[in-house]
Amino acid sequence: MKKLWVTGFVLLFGAIELYADCTVNLKAASERSGRRYIISWDPVPGADTYVLEESFDNFRTVQQQTIVDQAPENLRRQFDYQASADTRVKYRLTAYASGFAAPLSPCTATKEVTYSPDATFRRVVQKSVIPLVGSTAGLNGSQFKTSVRLRATQNDQRGDLILRRVGIPGTSRDPRLTYSLARKGDVLYFDDIVAAFGQTGLGSVDIVPDETAGGRMTVPFAEVRLFNVTPGGTFGTTESQTQPFHWSTDVSLNRQLSVTVPKDDLRLNLGVRSFSGSIIVIGVWRGNKSVSSNVLSPSGDSILFGSAKDISAFNDLQPGDVIRFTGSGTFVPMYTLTDNKTNDPALFIPPVPIDLDVERYIER
Amino acid sequence: MKKTLLAFAFAFCAVQTYAQCSLDLKVTDLGQGKKFEVSFARVSSASGYLIEETVEGRTTINSFEISQDVTTTRYKRTFERQSTFNNKALYRVIGLGVPFCDEERFANYKLDPTFRKAMVRSVIPLVGSTAGANGSLFKTSLRLRSSENKQSGKLIFHPVGVPATNGDPFIFYTLDGPNAVQEWDDIVTAMGATGLGTIDIVPDASLTTVDSLQRVPYAEVRLYNVTPNGTFGTGEMQTQPFAFHEDNPNADAGLRVTMPSSDLRLNIGVRTFLASEIDVVVERNGAVLSTRTFEMIGDLLQFMPAAAFVGSDVQPGDEIFVRVRGAGVPLYSLTDNKTNDPALFVPPAVIDQVIDKYQIVD
């Protein structure tokens, strides 16, 4: 009987220990003005494994980390995010004993934190961009220009259009126009957007929505055409608006761009529109051999555009050579192919889906 | 003695709590490895349940909460998937509020040959070779450049307005090393065809090899008119069907364009990959003017003047919306009526060079 009593007591004690002591003291400490959180917890008696889950959608989807190192200094994880708006994230810690075979639900704690927006990040990502625009006299009396049609995709869309001029680092004093579209479907049309700024030459246009517009940072839909006007008609190319967030090299989209140097009936120009300070490598390959690389380091809100020879800084470019853009930062690579007789341009920008709501982005 | 019995009773209760948590989790294949039923028994002491789905190759885990229902003895939830490759998913069911109450089982999802055939390719949505106005020649140049060491496959031309068949013109490509190039000044003529159409780039073994990654070469495409005074035209990017599959959460097979004034002409089209429904809406001053929905079979290109496409009269300034439900890419061209210079617009989607592993998770 005594043996039974002891066995019963051990079983009872063991069970109670698993239940009663299994309290997870999960802590969340904010640093860097709410842009970093340290998630930490006290050791749970009996636990040898922890699973930390992170969810942006109330645990509909989660990212998991398994922590088996029991050293107290390892019972923490640091999360750094750049957010453009307040972003709520939940963390759930579950302690396990004996691998994954221990009490589960009682041994769980959850913390919700709010990442604060980063003003610099907001300024970079909360806008739409037309990477290349131009207005200039062409050959033989032609006129090269860029038409932009802005169409409201919801009521009360207002903001600024800002022209970034080629070769000049962007500043807060860059030419600016305001736009205001009262009702969904309203249209604002610029036959020559660069001339509307009182400017000529090449550049890039930011579409920056007002923060108060309809409670969300949305931008109008832009239809853009770059074209030459001649007495015999027009010829040119279309262009899509895009958004800076998807051009960060920290975002896992495939935005690579490479181009083959054409024969001399066409001319190749290369360009880069940067949104933040970036390092861009223009590599030249001949067959499978690298023959040149040039490093560009534009500051934010700059546009560089010029002949392939100038941008690659390689004088021996030959038809068939392949030029590749790589680098780090946030930038759009692009190139144009232009017929040397007709001056008809074709513009290439790696395609990424268009966001018209540019309010909420988060980057790890 | 009393104490002994009491302790024993407590211990028994504790043990019984463990024993009561029998979820009896079952994962049952409901058909050809595409659809699985996850079922488990009710645990009376649980406050609810969580099903966690871990999909092979993904870092996120999908969670599904199920409330406790005293009238249910066995809970069931089905999971359906279309996949271009064989893969596993781990289902874990947790009885909330109950210690030791979780079980897990694998489901082996099988590749769907039809889905794989439709998705594992790259596509050039619009190509053409035809006599243009004033003695010009409209054609499409194509340069393929390898994206890995050695690549080979087939280019298949599907003429506009004609359902694709196994007899469609094709040509082989072979790229022997890094940066190897194969180019065609007029790809449509090279296939012995004329007119407008669309091209599939199908890497070798894409229908049988499921464990090695299938890559397609980089395609540099230019559609242009050749005139005595030079060329004018437009560039085009390759894309892939999965980028325009309606059940791909990252896809957006929508297009909007404003009807131009009479100096330009607007043509609109859709290249389908699977049977699809096409919604067309015309708005004037923000108000809906007309709507049209029609069906298209898979692997078909339709491309025509805007008025014919929308099925009603359209005026300059009208806004036209096209949305493909199924899998297909909408596109339009704007062409100057004097110079016949075309500009082509395809909704931008990130280009995949690796086109092997796609799946639709319900």
Contacts of A266 in chain B (CB under 8 A): 231
SS percent in chain A: helix, strand, coil, step 5: 15, 50, 35
Which two structure tokens, joined as six digits, stand for A268? 């190749």
| Model pLDDT for residues B344-362, shown as the tens digit of each residue | 999 999 888 888 888 887 7
Distance from CA of B166 to the nearest CA of A (A): 31
What ipTM goes with this model? 0.84
Contacts of B179 in chain A (CB under 8 A): 285, 287-288, 322
CB atoms within 10 A of CB A346: 25
Nearest to B349 among A61, A63, A353 (CB): A353
Question: How many residues appear in chain B?
Answer: 362
The pLDDT, as a whole number, for residue A259 is 94
Which two structure tokens, joined as six digits, stand for A3? 């043996």
The pLDDT, as a whole number, for residue A101 is 54
Q: Return the minimum-mean-pLDDT range out of A62-66, A203-207, A257-261.
A: A62-66
CB atoms within 10 A of CB A57: 12
pLDDT, averaged across chain A: 88
pLDDT, averaged across chain B: 88
Q: Return the minimum-mean-pLDDT range out of A151-165, B265-279, B342-356.
A: B342-356
Q: With the C-alpha atoms ordered A125, A127, A132, A136, is the resulting torsion angle positive or negative?
A: negative
| Model pLDDT for residues A132-155, shown as the tens digit of each residue | 999 999 767 789 999 999 999 999
Q: Using the beta-carbon criterion (under 8 Å), do A223 and B257 form an inter-chain contact? A: yes
Question: Which has the closest alpha carbon to B157: B201, B119, B121, B215?
Answer: B201
Question: Which has the closest alpha carbon to A105: B227, B288, B266, B94?
Answer: B94
SS3 A150: strand
Distance from CA of A334 to the nearest CA of B (A): 12
| Model pLDDT for residues B122-160, shown as the tens digit of each residue | 999 999 999 876 777 999 999 999 888 788 999 999 999
The set of long-range contacts for A58-62, using a CB threshold of 8 Å and a minimum separation of 24, is: A58/A90, A59/A90, A59/A92, A59/B63, A59/B65, A60/B62, A60/B63, A61/B60, A61/B61, A61/B62, A61/B63, A62/A92, A62/B60, A62/B61, A62/B63
The pLDDT, as a whole number, for residue A98 is 65
| Model pLDDT for residues B40-84, shown as the tens digit of each residue | 999 998 999 999 998 876 777 888 999 999 899 999 999 999 999
Residues 37-76 of chain B with CB under 8 A from chain A are 59-63, 65
Cα separation, A60 vs B65, in Å, equals 9
Distance from CA of B159 to the nearest CA of A (A): 25
The pLDDT, as a whole number, for residue B20 is 61
Q: Which residue of A has its CA nearest to B49?
A: A105
Does the beta carbon of B16 lie under 8 angstroms from any beta carbon of chain A?
no
Cα separation, A129 vs B362, in Å, equals 34
Nearest to B7 among A8, A230, A339 (CB): A8
Q: What does pTM read for this prediction? A: 0.87
Report the C-alpha dihedral over residues B79, B59, B24, A58, rounded to 10 degrees: -80
Mutate to test the interface with B, among A128, A238, A324 (most CBs of B within 10 A): A238
Nearest to A260 among B145, B232, B349 (CB): B145
Q: Cβ distance A201 to A194 under 8 Å? A: yes
